[in-house]
A and B are shown apart, each in its own frame.
Chain A
Amino acid sequence: MSPAELVAIPYTWVLALSAVLFAIGTMGVLLRRNGIAIFLSLEIMLNSANLAFAAFAFRLAAGHGTAGEALAGQIFIFFVIAVAAAEAAVGLALYIALYRLKETIDVDRINILRW
């Protein structure tokens, strides 16, 4: 589609979507016992954050006129994705090590460090 038709979705809608997704992700983190599921919910949260960045970058691009600010938003999203990748790698490695130790991924069972 040509750039001229890239018109109107209000950036606030994107922000609203980001909020909803964030809420879903948080609920997943807090409510699930399976470690992998928690991780996946965490990815949802990261994505919703990315979406929020995108919304504001989109708005800046429209409102002010310098391409630089929109670009900064996108770069940031890029880095968030990179960090998420690193985090996923290390986190999953942790899970594997944990599974080797305790034969389970259930986070409720990993509670030795308690009073």
Chain B
Amino acid sequence: MVTYVFLAAAAVAIVFAVLAVVPRNPMINVLSLVVMFFAMAAIFALLGMDFLAAIQIIVYSGAILVLFLFVIMLLNLRTVEPFGSGRPLQALLGVLVAAMIGGLVLALAALLHPELGGVLPGAEETGTALTIGRALVGSHLFVFEFISLLLVAAIVGAVYLTKKELR
């Protein structure tokens, strides 16, 4: 049954990823991306990473994409982009390159010996908020602090970049 859930989630992810890329309306793009992230969260949960699934929804869907929405509404973007976009060579090459990269990884996936993930003694303890929290302030403390520094820098940068010149 898990398999079916996974396949369903995967199908949703792919469909809505395509919907996030292809249509020319930015609103459709953002909102389909939201759905895709939900599907991703489902897959994370299936793999036993429940805390991460929660974080995915909260941060990604709930914060980042909302930010995107805000910006789209701020800039009042319309469907301005024509479809062909006038660069055939770029388009062709782009498709090819993307397909090849994807194909490479697919080949890798196909060649690897599939192992079934699963149960460990104490496995239920990985992936919970408690264990991840312990790891964050324990063995991975340095990176955790560093990430916070990075976020501060991002905030400062964002504020500075959008500052209006004082006359």
Contacts and interface: CB of A to CB of B under 8 A. Distances in A.
A87 B150 CA distance: 10
Contact of A51 (B43, B90, B119): B43
B123 A3 contact: yes
A55 to B, nearest CB: 8
Contacts of B166: none
Interface residues of A, number: 81
Contacts of B44: 54
A74 B127 contact: yes
B38 to A, nearest CB: 12
Given A15-B105, A20-B14, A84 B60 contact: yes
A32 B85 CA distance: 8
A63 B43 CA distance: 20
Contact of A79 (B43, B101, B139, B143): B143
Contacts of B155: 89
Contacts of B159: 93
Interface string A60-90: 0111010110111011011101111111111
If over half of A's interface residues share one DSSP class (helix, strand or loop), that class is named, otherwise mixed; here it is helix
Given A32-B21, A85-B151, A9 B161 contact: no
Nearest to B5: A9
A8 B114 CA distance: 10
B2 A6 contact: yes
Given A40-B33, A59-B117, A105-B75, 12 more contacts: A4-B119, A11-B114, A12-B114, A15-B109, A19-B108, A26-B98, A34-B80, A36-B68, A40-B30, A75-B135, A94-B161, A105-B77
10 contacts: A6-B46, A12-B112, A14-B6, A30-B98, A34-B80, A65-B120, A74-B126, A75-B135, A75-B140, A84-B64
Interface of B: 2-3, 6, 10, 13-14, 17-18, 20-21, 24, 26, 29-30, 33, 36-37, 40, 43-44, 46-49, 51-52, 55-56, 59-60, 63-64, 67-68, 71-72, 74-75, 77, 80-81, 85-87, 90-91, 93-95, 97-99, 101-106, 108-110, 112, 114-120, 122-127, 131-132, 135-136, 139-140, 143, 147, 150-151, 153-155, 157-159, 161-162
Interface of A: 3-28, 30-34, 36-37, 39-41, 43-44, 47, 50-52, 54-55, 57-59, 61-63, 65, 67-68, 70-72, 74-75, 77-79, 81-90, 92-97, 99, 105-106, 108
